[in-house]
Amino acid sequence: MKPRYLEIEGLQSFKEPQQINFDELSENGLFGIFGPTGSGKSTILDAITLALYGKVHRAVMGTQGIINTNSDKVRVTFVFDLLKNNRRKTYRVERVYAKKKGTENSCEAKVIRLFEIDDNMEKPLADKLTEVNSKIEELLGLRHEDFTRAVVLPQNKFQEFLMMDKSKKREMLERIFYLEEYGKELNSKLAQKISDVKLMLSNVEGALSTLGDASTEAMESIEKELKEAESEKEKAVKELEDTEKIYREAKEIWDLTQDLNLVDKKLNEHLSGIDEINAKKIILERAKKADVLTDSIKKYKLAYDKLRETEKELEKILQSLPLLEEKLKTTNTSMNIK
């Protein structure tokens, strides 16, 4: 883990917001933080552990009395890098604690958030106490106890690390250097390799079991049988070629027979339709004759219609004829009188 940036407010001796840019401090390599007793050197480590694990190792229950007496809340923000599987990632964790009402030393979490930073964009990873704590342990591979024993090493804790049980110390070092993951991967590869070798041996043993007797006499017998099998194979190939030739000839005859049957079928279909064709021819001839009579029928209809009109005109003339005769008589009488 590489620290990048730390911001502290209201934690123990730090009442006002304080920022520490570790990138600038480490530009020339190693750096140290110096100051008299009580100046807040250990509080910087406390702020880091509080941001990561929500606990201050020196505080009762991890959070008792951590808020500055002149503040009502504590806020820590920590930005750090992790290099894992040859890939570096940046994370930001933020925690805000406030005093519980009616108490002097107790506090409760108000804001707990974890982000992954990629190209100056923050992606939320968790925003609940248990989720953030679990994710931090997963990312660092260390529990709070491991972190304070092997990374920040508070006062009087180095001796505790040296005196730890060998098995516990080994487990902690495995988590620190990700050896547990490496061991699991190595065991998995080794188990797969053993399995592959066992399978190979099993195949070899199976192949050997099928060989049976491998003496000189057995090999000579096998060679003789092989030559006989080769001879039988040549005969079988010759028979197969002859059979394929007969098959091709038979197939040609079969195809011709099928074509002939198809022609006969089509011919019968045509013959069965002759009566229908003849009937349609008669209908067609009648239709042609009807077409010739159509013009005569049309002319007759026109003449008939003309005759009807003439008859109507004649009837009108006959009806008006007595009137004309009367008018003519009257005209003649008038002329005689004159």
Residues 287-322: tens digit of each pLDDT: 777 676 777 777 778 877 888 888 788 788 777 777
Range of the domain at 108: 2-140
Q: What is the DSSP secondary structure assignment for residue 29, as one 8-state letter?
A: S
Q: Is residue 68 part of a domain?
A: yes
| Tens of pLDDT, residues 315-329 | 887 777 777 777 777
Interatomic CA distance for residues 17 and 35, integer angstroms: 19
184 pLDDT higher than 80: no
Cβ neighbours for 2, distance < 8 A, ≥ 6 positions apart = 22, 80, 81, 82, 83
CA atoms within 13 A on the CB side of 337: 6
Cβ neighbours for 72, distance < 8 A, ≥ 6 positions apart = 10, 98, 99
Q: Is residue 237 part of a domain?
A: no
| Tens of pLDDT, residues 48-92 | 989 999 888 777 676 777 888 888 899 999 999 998 778 899 999
pTM, entire model: 0.47
Q: How many domains does the chain have?
A: 1
Q: Is residue 296 part of a domain?
A: no
Q: Is residue 269 part of a domain?
A: no
- Domain with residue 59: its CATH number is 3.40.50.300
Of residues 151 and 123, more confidence is placed in 123
pLDDT confidence band for 182 (50 / 70 / 90): low
pLDDT confidence band for 265 (50 / 70 / 90): confident
Location of structure tokens 């925003």: 127
Q: Is residue 95 part of a domain?
A: yes
Q: Is residue 257 part of a domain?
A: no
Interatomic CA distance for residues 70 and 16, integer angstroms: 10
Q: Is residue 311 part of a domain?
A: no
Q: Is residue 115 part of a domain?
A: yes
Location of structure tokens 């500055």: 68
- Find the farthest-apart pair of alpha carbons in the chain and give their distance in angstroms, rounded: 176
